[in-house]
Structure 1
Amino acid sequence: MTRTAPDSCPGVLRLHQAADGPLARIRVPGGHLTPAQLVALAAAATELGNGAIELTSRGNLQLRQVRDAAQLTEHATAAGLLPSPTHERVRNIVASPLSGRVGGLADVRGLVGELDARLCAEPRLADLPGRVLFTLDDGRGDVSALGGDIGVHAVGPDEFALLLAGSDTGIRGTGAEAVDLVLAAAEGFLEASSGQWRLHEIADGPARIVESVGLTPGIERVEIEGAQDIPIGWLDQHDGLVALGAGIRLGALDARLAEFLAAVERPVIVTPWRSLVIADLDEWAAEQVVRVLAPMGLIFDAASPWLHVSACAGQPGCAKSLTDVRADVTTAVESGRVLPEGASTDTAGEQVVSAEDVTIAGRQHWSGCERRCGRPRGDVTDVVATPDGYRVD
């Protein structure tokens, strides 16, 4: 498959003209945010946008209705969120959010900074499409299951498998060699591409890149299983401290809540499941965070129906949407029509029903049109808007 149009992914320097105004996307490699960066983002959302920070499925952030692009660039640069104007849109790096703190075979946190710095230092890699996704998985399989283009997956404390298009190539390297493997594969992508945005679109793309890397694959292969559960609630770290996993309603973080999060003065990790991890807390501080921030909107309950739903932008943000999807799904949650996994429902089988009649159990994605933007990977019920109501697939 060869694209006929150039990659149009937005960034900070090139905004997307959404139906409700300019939209900016800020790359956050590994999802890692400092308190100071969170303060800067909250200020930008309040002063320049619609007052919310949107979390994306790649652990990046978006601001909608941006009123002053130049001022936003200044905010992002001062906060260290725009280290390379030439490479800003190719810094799509997701990493296991709990790595080095809870579980996993290896700590990939250091690989995030190394890959980001070396990616930005190579002029030619600025030509990568903004859709290319790099994954750094600590062995638990959470981000490898996202089906990235190029990644490494820990198979031991100091051994990594090279993944291409979400599958193990059989090539192995140490932690010191992991970023070399990823960058060599990125160079191979550019050699193999004739306009494609993703590696799976290139005919024999993974095989061609393996050949370009120049290493002989081994026999063993890692089977990448389904996506892991979203880290939610109280999580005991290896060092005796606590991490808190927090869901965000439809991935929209209010700027005022972001300011309170920054005041905790601990690292915050944006996950590719539109949630957050607040790390390195002592037990007393963790209890206070839950007590104060849960009433403000952070979700620490793994059974919350909000964790079962996702949605596209819908109206008024998207001109292609047939309805205000987010308002409809909010009503469905608040009226008790989003049910636990396995519950019996009558809404299924490609029926077309009104918004108030949609009752679905388990994971579901609501879309304003057939494009189904933002749909998560895996087993998800689709609730798709039509001119006559919603169709449930």
Structure 2
Amino acid sequence: MSTTNSIEIDIQKAATSKISQIDFENLAFGNIFTDHMLLCDFADGAWQKPVIKPYEPFLMDPSSRVFHYGQAIFEGMKAYKDEQDSVWLFRPEENFIRFNKSANRLAMPSVPEPVFMDGLKELLKIEQEWVKKGKGNSLYIRPFMIATGTGVIAAPSSQYRFMIILSPAKSYYSGEVKVIIAEHYSRAANGGIGAAKAAGNYSGQFYPTKLANEKGFQQIIWTDDATHTKLEEAGTMNVFFRIGDTLYTAPTSERILDGVTRKSLIELAEREGLKVEVRSVLVSELVEAVQNGTLKEIFGAGTAAVVNPIIGFSYQDVYYELPPTENSYALQLKEKLNNIQYKLAEDTFGWTVKV
């Protein structure tokens, strides 16, 4: 048993570690998990004592409400190790706040900050050898919560399970990305759950993305559900457009996720003196910009890849290729953000938190 800053956690150590069996130079993203996981159950109207135990499957009743009514949310975070072997988190309070906003939207109980934050830090201390040094190496963190109460009546569950699992990761690169601008399918709608990191948001994207893949495109730039004229997100990432020397990105809303990487890139760009405008960008603006040569870059922004450049897009069956960019804002901002995350540059924003 161990005591953290403000909560008591039951700790059950694994008898052996599988870390020696892992090829850390050849990691497929999100496929390998560390030796331990954290779980905390909500029952009888209260959160129970958190437990850190060996990573393993667990039993669930077939009528558990997560299976029938989709009460499931998650977050994506990373831990980094500096050259002095210290482990750092990047803006974890933002993930905690957003996690509970998602919980509230899906009528799930808020997770107490000590359970989330202190539980995560204790888990990372146990698994610190899984965080490898070197730029490009990280430990991906997946906090999530599911409804475990039983019964198939259409109502919120009375029981839940909060968990954190960890997965070692290398630098994420998906190759050249070409996208289709959505004309029919939507990622989210006003009044819906698009701003929550709800599992159902992602499953709803799989079919239209499959159709895009079949046409030779890797992702979709989603448009607003009402008119399909406003550019919103790219795949599972927030999206930026560089037209001339200005960066544009859509404002967060009920349809658009409040991405931690997105807001960090905006602050970094402003610090570097780059012009940023947070406003809706129209599909017609993008087509006009690529036709007149002022469209310089499109890139997605998210935890896994940080920045993912997009080299071209299709709209109404016409494909537009972006010209090569020598002075890439995307790559500059990614480098500066990575340097802060890996403690290779001064964190003037106070974003990094030592474990």
TM-score between both structures, scaled by the size of structure 2: 0.26
More helix by share: 1
